[in-house]
Structure formats: C-alpha cells, structure tokens
Amino acid sequence: MEQSKFLKIVIIILLLLNIATMGYLWMLQQQSSSRHPHGGRPGGVAEYLTKELQLNDSQSAQYDKMRRKHHEDNMSYNDANRIMRDRLFALLQKPETDSATVRAMADSIAQVQKKIELNTFYHFKEVRMLLNTDTQRKKFDEIIGDAIKQIGQHPNRREGPGGPPPTPPGDGPAPDGPPPPPPNR
C-alpha cells in the first residue's frame, strides 16, 4: 500500500513537471516568433537590408517592388516543383516504373530549381545595381558573402566530419540506371 501511494505521488510530480516544461517551451516559442518573425531578424530580411544598406526612400521603394516580384516568381516555381515532386514520388506506388520517365521527371524538377537559383541570383544582382554608393555596395557584398557562408555551413549540407563525404568523380549514378545503393556504415 505504501509503495502504490509513493508511486502515485511520483507520477503526479512528473506529470506536473512535464506540464510546466511544455508551458515554458510554448512561451519561449511565442516570445521568439513575436520578436523575430522573419528569418531571425526583427522586421525580416527586407527591413534588415534596408537598414544595413541605409537605403534612401527611392531605393527602398524600388527594392520593395523588386523583392515582391522575386518572391512571387519563386513561390510560383516552388509550387511547380512541389507538384512535380508529388508526381515523381507517386510513381513509387506503381509496381513497374520506367526509369526514363523517372529521369525525365527529375530533370524537370532540376530545371525548375535552376530557374529558382537564377531568379535569386539576378534578383540580388538587380538589388546591387540599385545601390549608388561604394559603401552600400561593400556592405551588400559582405551581407551576401556571410549569407553564402551560412548556407554552406548548414549541417545537412556540410562535408567532412558529421556530413556526407564528397562524391568522387565517376561514382554518381549510371547514365541509364538507378543510382548506386548507399554505402554500408
């Protein structure tokens, strides 16, 4: 009887601690998202760039217009990519799948991804052309350089310890067949 009473007390204490921890984590998330709604910076990337580059009113208005166009284009490309990926992976449900069809679909996805990359590159090139002082251009180059370094350091993209090893030349998928199986680890 003593032991069951003790276990009930322990369970109640653990339950209360769990509720308190979850409440604390929820509050932290709410505070974080209200302070930094876009990309971890107060006001988002657009406000950050406008402030850091010290854009004047005319530059700021042009940048806002360019940013909206870039965002709309990329949303359209992302929607197309999502639809194509859904169609590609729906092929997993078919018992027989033609590898030429799979490759064609993968190539289509790659072409849309290429459009996203080019759209982003030319967007930032256009933003850089908007800048009219060497100080603004230098600061812009620093910001873009830092962003590229951060993307390269993303844990899912890095090479070396903890990341995927680089693919040696000639070890990629065969031109007409499926990719090689993953290495045994």
Q: Which residues contact 124 (CB under 8 A, 6 or more apart)?
A: 144
Q: Residue 127: its pLDDT value, please?
A: 94
Q: Residue 36: its pLDDT value, please?
A: 46
Pair of tokens at residue 54: 């010290």
pTM confidence score: 0.59
Stretches in the chain below the pLDDT threshold 50: 36-41, 157-161, 167-176, 185
- How far is residue 73's CA from residue 113's CA, in Å, rounded to a whole number? 12
Q: Residue 45: its pLDDT value, please?
A: 83
Report helix, strand or coil for 182. coil
